[in-house]
Structure 1
Amino acid sequence: MVTIRTMTAADAAAVAEIRVSGWRAAYTGIVPQGYLDAMDPVANAAAHRERLASGAGPVVDAVAEAAGAVVGWACYGPCRDAGRDRPPGTGELYALYVRPELIGTGVGRALWIAALEGLRKLAGHERARVVLWVAKDNARARRFYERAGCRPDGAERSEEYAGTAVPEVRYVLDPLRAP
């Protein structure tokens, strides 16, 4: 059984390990291998602790826990594109990662549903939009979000990793609804 709860500083090391192993599993062949190899879970955990301690902004971190261990992490909050080409009140899923060996077990879906509920609360009403960015070549993630009802909205951008541009596509769920 998976339980979703708010992340605490005590979860930072587990979340960092999930994030780094998730990147290495999802982005091999998409992001330069040197970048993936250089990812440091200790430094990432410190960054999570610092951000949590600062209480910066309305960003929400949630963890999935099973048998007393953190097995997944989601981060969400206000849309970073709101006001540019997204209406105010739009929410954004910034990250969703599951221990690679647990992909396909329902942990990601549980985190997704919890994030949707959290975004509804942030929006203050049941009808809100959610966006998220996915690496264009990350077929597994794209299938996950498409099965959850999200669709590409035509927006694209690139993020640079170790000098390599990685194209991303924006997905939108509109109106926000539980899958």
Structure 2
Amino acid sequence: MPQVREMTTADIDAVSALRVAGWQSAYAGIVPQPYLDAMTAEADALRRRERLALSRPRTTDLVAVADGDTDGVPVGWACLGPSRDEAARPDTAELYALYARPDLIGTGIGRALLTTAHSRARTQHFTSITLWVLAANHPARLFYERAGYRPDGATQDDVYTDTTLTELRYTSAL
């Protein structure tokens, strides 16, 4: 079982590599390939360093480290905080992202991150949690449904290059 801990600045490069690999794997055939090909871990790390320098109250970044890995290199990453939906109640959290190294999907990393994210959200007095998932990302939707999330009917569109993709909002009680 992976160990989950809070992310440090020393984890930024590994987390950025995870995020880019996660996008390129999970969204192949969904998000236009030129968009995915243009993603780089270096650019993501630069943006992540800039964001971490900003004050982000109640936002938590978590990393999963493989059990027994003495180097402590992250193999998964999740980020959560207050819901960004203006109509959300103040006790609603949002899971902004969750990624596992693509070759380790199905090994319990995502489940460990999600369990820890829920625990952290409860300690911050959130009573429910939402997330957005691409409608065409059926493996992710199944993962979240197995964890007790359900679509609540809200949708939003995101544009990638010239392609508009629909996201569904999922919610779960904490």
Asked if these proteins are the same fold (TM beyond 0.5), I'd say yes
Q: Secondary structure at the match of 1:152?
A: strand
Gaps of 5+ in 2: none
The equivalences for 1:56-71 within 5 A come to 56-66=56-66, 67=69, 68-71=72-75
Shift of 1:43: 1.0
Q: Is the 8 A contact 1:63 1:72 kept in 2?
A: yes
Letter in structure 2 aligned against 1:153: D
Q: Is the 8 A contact 1:18 1:99 kept in 2?
A: yes
Distance 1:133 1:58 in 2: 19
Distance 1:163 1:119 in 2: 36
Distance 1:33 1:122 in 2: 38
The equivalences for 1:1-179 within 5 A come to 1-66=1-66, 67=69, 68-81=72-85, 83-84=86-87, 86-123=88-125, 128-174=127-173, 176=174
Q: Is the 8 A contact 1:91 1:123 kept in 2?
A: no
Distance 1:96 1:22 in 2: 9
Q: Secondary structure at the match of 1:119?
A: helix
Distance 2:153 2:78 in 1: 24
Q: Secondary structure at the match of 2:84?
A: coil
Q: Is the 8 A contact 1:12 1:45 kept in 2?
A: yes
Distance 1:53 1:167 in 2: 31
Identity of aligned residues (%): 52
Q: Is the 8 A contact 2:11 2:73 kept in 1?
A: no
Distance 1:113 1:165 in 2: 32
Shift of 1:39: 0.3
Gaps of 5+ in 1: none
Q: Is the 8 A contact 1:93 1:130 kept in 2?
A: yes
